Amino acid sequence: MGKTLKLFDSLDSTQSVAHKLAEQGVGEGTLVLAEQQTAGRGRMGRSWHSPKGKGVWMSLVLRPQIPVHFTPQLTLLVAVALCRTIRKIEPLPVAIKWPNDLLIEGKKISGILLESSAEDERLKYVIAGVGISVNLREEDYPDELREIGTSLRIASGKEWSRTELIQSFLEQFETLYELYHAEGFEPIRVAWEALAVSLGKPIRARTPKGNVEGVAESIDEMGALLVRLSDGNVTKLYSAEI
């Protein structure tokens, strides 16, 4: 992973460039990195604040041999790899909020955006986009993000090496990706549950089909969140804002 590196000073989004390269046939593990993104993308059509030199803004091209409908599993795999990466460097209380946010004391430190391309139900490639707010200071955040976002620097009080983070992430990711291909999703699911914040807690979720309230119990083999409702029934969430 990361043996082919495409490094840019400024891009609209590393996702867009990674898609173009993937369409041109670059190999699995090609990594697109930018010092700055001018139109960084988040989930659900949101933008991603990506100031120059302050974070890790990267997209990894993957060509997994899996059915298209398994791709959400990879989001959880990336989240586990990221969480392990940060905890290995510094024992911060970083945890995963389903499906793909990394939080420190309730504030977001990192986000994952998985996009795939398929033809006739056959998966062509997946772009795993990762944003880590590394060395941002309070003043680097616009007002609307200051309350909900944090950085590794703010949480730990020290500057972080972005190179070390990227290298360590690629190692953690590769180990989990090999495990996934060898043993399937179950070991990833177990590792994810051990790092999750919302399990066993009451949650309120905004879904495309309306709001859901209940207790988050576990995730299933597809990465969906299982929520126990007050009437005792269990509902599965595939896409929601918790």
Shorter beta-carbon distance to ligand BTN: residue 112 or 199: 112
104 binds ligand BTN per the rule CB under 6 A: no
- Only one residue has tokens 């807690």, namely 201
98 binds ligand BTN per the rule CB under 6 A: no
Q: Is 18:59 a contact under the CB 8 Å cutoff?
A: yes
What is the number of the residue whose Cβ is closest to ligand BTN?
111
- Only one residue has tokens 């659900």, namely 44
**Interface positions, 187-206, toward ligand BTN (CB under 6 A):** none
Window 111-130: contact mask with ligand BTN (x via CB under 6 A): xxx---------------xx
149 binds ligand BTN per the rule CB under 6 A: no
Minimum separation from the CB atom of position 51 to ligand BTN (A): 12
Answer yes or no: is 43 a known binding residue: yes
Judged by CB under 6 A, the residue of 22, 58, 83, 165 near ligand BTN is 58
Supply 98's token pair. Answer: 């389903």
Q: What is the DSSP string of 28-50?
A: TT-EEEEEEESS-B-GGG-B---
Answer yes or no: is 108 a known binding residue: yes
Minimum separation from the CB atom of position 38 to ligand BTN (A): 10
Walk across the sheet containing 234-237 and list its strands: 202-207, 210-219, 225-228, 234-237
Minimum separation from the CB atom of position 234 to ligand BTN (A): 26
95 vs 21, 54, 193, CA distance in Å? 32, 21, 10
Supply 32's token pair. Answer: 């697109």
Q: What angle do CA 198, 228, 235 make, to 5 degrees?
A: 100
Shorter beta-carbon distance to ligand BTN: residue 55 or 214: 55
Report cis status (omega within 30 of 0) of the bond before 208: no
Measured from the Cβ of residue 38, the count of other Cβ atoms closer than 10 Å reads 11
Minimum separation from the CB atom of position 28 to ligand BTN (A): 18
Answer yes or no: is 153 a known binding residue: no
Region from 51-59, 60-68, 151-159, 229-237 binding ligand BTN, contact rule CB under 6 A: 51-59
Shorter beta-carbon distance to ligand BTN: residue 4 or 16: 16
41 binds ligand BTN per the rule CB under 6 A: yes
23 vs 20, 33, 126, CA distance in Å? 5, 18, 11
103 binds ligand BTN per the rule CB under 6 A: no
Annotated binding site: 37, 41-43, 108
